[in-house]
Chains A and B, each alone.
Chain A
Amino acid sequence: MTEFLQQLINGLALGSILALIALGYTMVYGILRFINFAHGDIFMLGAFAGFYLTPKIAAIFPTPSILSGLLVMGISMAICAALGIVIERFAYRPLRRSPRLTVLITAIGVSLFLEYAGQLFFGAAPKKFPALIPSYPITHVGGLSVTSNQIIVFIVTALLLVGLRFIVQKTKIGTAMRALAFNPDAAALMGINTDVVISFTFALGSALAAAAGILFAVNYPAIDPLMGILPGLKAFVAAVLGGIGNLPGAALGGIIIGVTETLVAGYISSTYRDAIAFGILILILLVKPSGLLGKKEIEKV
């Protein structure tokens, strides 16, 4: 029983990180109907921004501490947000009127560009991510172990989920985002500056990826330029599973994938881990093609 509970905790910890990455994926898709395959690489850049910022912050504030953690995370999020705007401006905006497939292929190109440019600038060898947030093993109640980092990830994911929902549902820019998602041309006719809204969407998505990158690196402190590929893919799957475009769905999808993978690896075999996790995805999509919490889209004719 202890082992099962521990596996459940492991799964929740892994799942909440996937959920955090999935939030960014799903938000950009929800607004722009576009899968930003470079999301996993922005996630990587967020981790590297943290890697280079931490020594600088540590020179001013005591590190590891919550304060320096928040500072590093805030600055990395800002850097990645700016980067997201730049990528959108130069890679995606010129293709605004092109078929969706063209943009998708470009996103894959941007993703490869970031991965290999990363290898060029950061080097290919894995780097140790510095201790940024103080880590305590909380407990050993009945032999269970949780680290403070795992709890932080869980809380941050929950907070960002609530924060994002607030931005999208209650603010002016959020209303504009939803208007754009509904009908870009009509939104432009109503006086919404679509370029600004799209840039903002990318900035927000990239900032989320940066936050996820840093929390991921704090939990798994070996970072390399290709670290975003697998988590990015799994987060994408999590977003689809929860219903792509739906924020709570992404969080739910992330948790389901994390827990399933951990239980399969712990009790069946890690060899079949991905096969079984993806098998479940196929089953769910067979029954509910729009994902667990996704809305049914009615094709207008």
Chain B
Amino acid sequence: MKIWRGQFVAGAAVLLLAGCNKPSGESAANSDVIKVGEFASLTGSEATFGQSSHKGTQLAIDDLNAAGGVLGKKFQLLTEDDQSQAGQPATVVRKLISSDGVVAILGEVASSRSLEAAPICQENKIPMISPASTNPKVTEVGDYIFRVCFIDPFQGTVMANFARKTLKLQNAAVLVESSSDYSVGLAKFFKQRFIADGGKIVAEENYSHGDKDFSAQLTAIKAANPDGIFVPGYYTEVGLIALQARQLGITVPLFGGDGWESSALVPIGGKALEGCYFSTHFSPDSTAPEVRNFVKEFEAKYHETPDAMAALGYDSAMILADAMKRAGTTDGPKVRDALAAAKDFSGVTGKITIDANRNASKPAVILEIKNGQFKYVETVAP
């Protein structure tokens, strides 16, 4: 037994050394495929986001390869799971860049996790495109960091306008996930606009990632008697918040951002979510030909209707391929310049123009939850 153990340790050490010896930069330059890295929350609490964006990204890569790839090379997508956990993105992105030698990084949905990976991509001059991180800070990390979604000020403003003008709310309460950059950002811009438009924020409460009991916060909100509650959180908590709000006798509508959009939202929240609203990037009901085509292909491959994260994942890979084509190389700095110059790129989530801050300027849609379905309400242009 002891001898066996010794051999095992020695074997493992040899394997480790072999792993370290692998040259990092060389494989990227000489290979006949274009290696693109993706990091996503394939498991953990935001798993449906990661799964969706990954499916969209994979579909784009397959489409690109079916069309012959770019620059005469096919794409190879290397996907790493960050388990929805802080700390993981840095580890897996470092691995993708230094040991797999990828030329670009796609990911993540959650802003907190994109923020972790961004400095690493910036440092290595590897362009990174986040499909769906809406916190402004993400692209502020540096000039190699891009996104194909709109940002929190826009989304927060859209929802404040919607709450004031369409829902005609006077007094709103805000329930924020204080551990999430995304939620805090959305709430900040919502409040600014809502107050500027003559509304009043009557209560402001916080919760943390993974909480299950919100009765304390909701009781405090109920005492303030708002006409509506803005909950810029993620679907798991939002479902439970809606349930507990109705249990406590709160009947006013809840509304939030794209963090709500998940096939898991309605099964958890059920009837408690009827008549609630959220803003997002994409509606599969759209009649645009790109969207119809994307929805058809997606349904054929995965037997489900794509959501916003899938559409954004698709666009993130497509805009990268487009930039490489225009740059004529996969070289980091040149691809970066081409991405920065992207204008009116026709994505499935609308016309994307990359602005001076490397954010996508594009429209938002508002959906209502009706009979357990997401129903299109209106589109708001930037």
Stretch at the interface among A21-29, A38-46, A96-104, A221-229: A221-229
- What residues on B are CB-neighbors of A147 within 8 Å? 247
* Interface pair A263/B216, CB less than 8 Å apart: yes
**Is A75 located at the chain interface by the 8 A CB criterion?**
no
**Is A183 located at the chain interface by the 8 A CB criterion?**
no
Stretch at the interface among B94-102, B235-243, B310-318, B348-356: B235-243
What is the CA–CA distance of A14 and B213 in the complex, to the nearest angstrom? 8
What is the CA–CA distance of A263 and B264 in the complex, to the nearest angstrom? 30
Interface size on B, residues (CB 8 A): 35
- What residues on B are CB-neighbors of A143 within 8 Å? 249
- What residues on A are CB-neighbors of B213 within 8 Å? 10, 14, 220, 262
CB distance from B173 to the nearest CB of A (A): 14
**Is B91 located at the chain interface by the 8 A CB criterion?**
no
Q: Which of A123, A221, A267, A269 contacts B268 (CB under 8 A)?
A: A221
- What residues on B are CB-neighbors of A7 within 8 Å? 216, 219-220
Stretch at the interface among A57-65, A124-132, A157-165, A192-200: A124-132
Stretch at the interface among B30-38, B43-51, B71-79, B117-125: B43-51
- What residues on B are CB-neighbors of A226 within 8 Å? 44-45, 210
What is the CA–CA distance of A270 and B237 in the complex, to the nearest angstrom? 15
CB distance from A272 to the nearest CB of B (A): 10
What is the CA–CA distance of A10 and B214 in the complex, to the nearest angstrom? 9
**Is A169 located at the chain interface by the 8 A CB criterion?**
no
**Is A175 located at the chain interface by the 8 A CB criterion?**
no
Q: In residues 98-144 of chain A, which contact B (Cβ within 8 Å)?
A: 119, 123-128, 137, 140, 143
CB distance from B184 to the nearest CB of A (A): 11
**Is A31 located at the chain interface by the 8 A CB criterion?**
no
User: Given contacts A222-B236, A271-B206, is CB(A265)–CB(B216) below 8 Å?
Assistant: yes
- What residues on A are CB-neighbors of B239 within 8 Å? 128, 222
* Interface pair B268/A128, CB less than 8 Å apart: yes
What is the CA–CA distance of A182 and B248 in the complex, to the nearest angstrom? 48
**Is B217 located at the chain interface by the 8 A CB criterion?**
yes
Q: Which residue of A lies closest to B41 (CB)?
A: A124
* Interface pair B236/A126, CB less than 8 Å apart: yes
CB distance from A181 to the nearest CB of B (A): 33
**Is B11 located at the chain interface by the 8 A CB criterion?**
no
**Is B292 located at the chain interface by the 8 A CB criterion?**
no
**Is A171 located at the chain interface by the 8 A CB criterion?**
no
**Is B343 located at the chain interface by the 8 A CB criterion?**
no
- What residues on A are CB-neighbors of B20 within 8 Å? none
- What residues on B are CB-neighbors of A6 within 8 Å? 219, 248
Q: Mark A143-173, 1 if CB is under 8 A from B, else 0.
A: 1010100000000000000000000000000
* Interface pair A124/B47, CB less than 8 Å apart: yes
* Interface pair B43/A126, CB less than 8 Å apart: no
**Is A230 located at the chain interface by the 8 A CB criterion?**
yes
- What residues on A are CB-neighbors of B220 within 8 Å? 3, 7, 266-267
What is the CA–CA distance of A227 and B209 in the complex, to the nearest angstrom? 12
- What residues on A are CB-neighbors of B223 within 8 Å? 2-3
Q: Which residue of B lies closest to A135 (CB)?
A: B247
- What residues on B are CB-neighbors of A231 within 8 Å? 212
* Interface pair A270/B216, CB less than 8 Å apart: yes
What is the CA–CA distance of A143 and B223 in the complex, to the nearest angstrom? 10
**Is A13 located at the chain interface by the 8 A CB criterion?**
yes
- What residues on A are CB-neighbors of B217 within 8 Å? 265-266, 270
Q: Which of A2, A230, A262 contacts B215 (CB under 8 A)?
A: A262
CB distance from B324 to the nearest CB of A (A): 33
**Is B376 located at the chain interface by the 8 A CB criterion?**
no
CB distance from A297 to the nearest CB of B (A): 34
What is the CA–CA distance of A126 and B236 in the complex, to the nearest angstrom? 7
What is the CA–CA distance of A263 and B216 in the complex, to the nearest angstrom? 7
User: Given contacts A3-B219, A3-B220, A222-B239, is CB(A230)–CB(B268) below 8 Å?
Assistant: no
- What residues on A are CB-neighbors of B264 within 8 Å? 125-128
Q: In residues 195-213 of chain B, which contact A (Cβ within 8 Å)?
A: 205-208, 210-213
What is the CA–CA distance of A261 and B212 in the complex, to the nearest angstrom? 13
* Interface pair B206/A270, CB less than 8 Å apart: yes
Q: In residues 222-275 of chain A, which contact B (Cβ within 8 Å)?
A: 222, 224, 226-227, 230-231, 261-263, 265-267, 269-271, 273-274
* Interface pair B208/A270, CB less than 8 Å apart: yes
* Interface pair B216/A222, CB less than 8 Å apart: no
* Interface pair A125/B47, CB less than 8 Å apart: yes
- What residues on A are CB-neighbors of B236 within 8 Å? 126, 222, 224
Q: In residues 249-296 of chain B, which contact A (Cβ within 8 Å)?
A: 249, 264, 267-268, 270
* Interface pair B215/A126, CB less than 8 Å apart: no
**Is B178 located at the chain interface by the 8 A CB criterion?**
yes
* Interface pair B219/A124, CB less than 8 Å apart: no
Q: Which of A262, A263, A270 contacts B205 (CB under 8 A)?
A: A270
Q: Which of B42, B45, B207, B270 contacts A224 (CB under 8 A)?
A: B45
CB distance from B243 to the nearest CB of A (A): 7
What is the CA–CA distance of A270 and B174 in the complex, to the nearest angstrom? 13
Would you list 29 pairs from A and B whose C-beta atoms are within 8 A, ordered by A residue? A2-B223, A6-B219, A6-B248, A7-B219, A7-B220, A10-B213, A10-B219, A11-B216, A14-B213, A126-B45, A127-B267, A128-B270, A145-B247, A145-B248, A147-B247, A220-B240, A222-B212, A224-B45, A226-B210, A262-B215, A263-B216, A266-B220, A267-B220, A269-B206, A270-B178, A270-B206, A270-B207, A271-B206, A273-B208
Q: A126-B45, A128-B267, A270-B217 are in contact. List 15 more A-B contacts (CB 8 A).
A: A6-B248, A7-B220, A14-B213, A14-B215, A119-B43, A128-B239, A140-B249, A222-B212, A226-B210, A262-B213, A265-B205, A265-B216, A267-B220, A269-B206, A270-B208
Which 7 residue pairs spanning A and B have beta carbons closest together?
Answer: A124-B43, A265-B216, A10-B215, A266-B216, A124-B47, A220-B212, A128-B267
Chain B positions within 8 Å of A, measured between CB atoms, are 42-45, 47-48, 51, 84, 178, 205-208, 210-213, 215-217, 219-220, 222-223, 236, 239-240, 243, 247-249, 264, 267-268, 270
Chain A positions within 8 Å of B, measured between CB atoms, are 2-3, 6-7, 10-11, 13-14, 119, 123-128, 137, 140, 143, 145, 147, 216, 220-222, 224, 226-227, 230-231, 261-263, 265-267, 269-271, 273-274
